[in-house]
Structure 1
């Protein structure tokens, strides 16, 4: 049995089976990237629901694994050299899991780096900008009632990023063509979230991005998506 005692987080959220990957997360657009990838890969894992706030992501135990105090994070008891490893940042976790298994990322070196480019496009563009759009459109509308600039700025940037994705997906089934990869898994939870969670379908003109919406439907139809989008489940 793996010894995870060197990870303080396991004191607050004990592992029922320390021999499998421990996932610390919430079903947010960032969090479900990892649960979906684990489902796609068929890797056994144990999810732990980490709430926002001082008893969750800001607790000393969680911060010991991710100093930034954000989900998701994992512990893999079978890391490099067979030793346990703790990881944070969803994009880094996706790359790690893909390289660990040799799946969800092309074997060809050039295509592999192109896939990572699109993962970084999500991490540096789609995630932060969609999140800011959602914040000002759904959560802070009353705070900027007399100043439409913040919402308009992030709405327009979100639409610009959707147009980049639209251009990439035109005549492609997946971001990398015929192969479903971590680039898709990194991205579609945010495209879904801007609609389902933020209620932005109309203001973002999803109808104007037919390749994106068709791709999103294909992504959501996958069994791994249908399961992973609800993990970790509510208590």
Structure 2
């Protein structure tokens, strides 16, 4: 059974959804990032960048356990393990990979910054809010244009690129985006949200999530604790 070290964030939900879609048995080990669980030595041995999610698969590629961090790498591993949600042909595979990298290098980091400066930053910095809100809207436009040409993000079949992007768009209001302005994206979003495996995936640990309103959680995530060498 795969062990999933996670928390109910977009990156965590990417892996929860993939596991549900694949039907692989898994056990969730909560890593409360507001309480600082991500800095525990046992977790750092699996995820040296102190970020969730991470997995341990006791049945790795060579029959030995394997530990993996970084949600994109985990999606690729699970696709390889199951032979699902990533095209077999070379062209299709690279088309899917480019959109996965688009999420990892653009959608996640930029929307994360929009969340931070719009919601969590202790002071409202107009330049930062405008910069990342505008970038969020631009990225939604890129996705909307793509979905005007393609049923799913990476082509005609649902796959890991859809699973990677969808959880980040669930907080569109916090990003300063009006979803109804992106017609093709909204149709895709509603379809993905209705998938039974997706609905189960985004409920994983959902009851454990709480607003980052206390000073300790904010300091743990955004203060000096985050930047200590370990």
- TM-score greater than 0.5 by the shorter chain: yes
Unaligned residue ranges in structure 1 (runs of 5+): 1-19
Partner of 2:192: 219
Unaligned residue ranges in structure 2 (runs of 5+): 209-230
**Aligned partner of 1:153 among 118, 131, 141:** 131
Shift of 1:55: 4.7
Partner of 1:40: 21
1:124 corresponds to 2:124: no
TM-score normalised per structure 2: 0.86
Partner of 1:185: 163
Paired residues in the alignment total: 208
Shift of 1:47: 0.8
Identify, as 1 or 2, the structure richer in helix: 2
Structure 1 SS opposite 2:138: helix
Distance 1:185 1:87 in 2: 18
Map 1:80-229; keep pairs closer than 5 Å: 80-140=61-121, 143-144=123-124, 147-195=125-173, 198=174, 200=175, 203-229=176-202
Shift of 1:157: 0.8
Shift of 1:191: 0.7
Tell me, yes or no, if the aligned pair for 2:46 and 2:54 is still in contact at 8 Å.
yes
Q: Report Cα offsets for 1:134-161 as digits up to 9, x if no partner.
A: 1111122x502xx410000001111111
1:231 corresponds to 2:181: no
Distance 2:10 2:36 in 1: 21
Structure 1 SS opposite 2:4: strand
Tell me, yes or no, if the aligned pair for 1:49 and 1:233 is still in contact at 8 Å.
no
Partner of 1:7: none
User: Please, what is the CA RMSD of the aligned residues?
Assistant: 1.4
Distance 2:103 2:207 in 1: 27
Distance 1:137 1:54 in 2: 22
Distance 2:75 2:193 in 1: 18
TM-score normalised per structure 1: 0.85
Structure 1 SS opposite 2:203: coil
Distance 2:96 2:40 in 1: 34
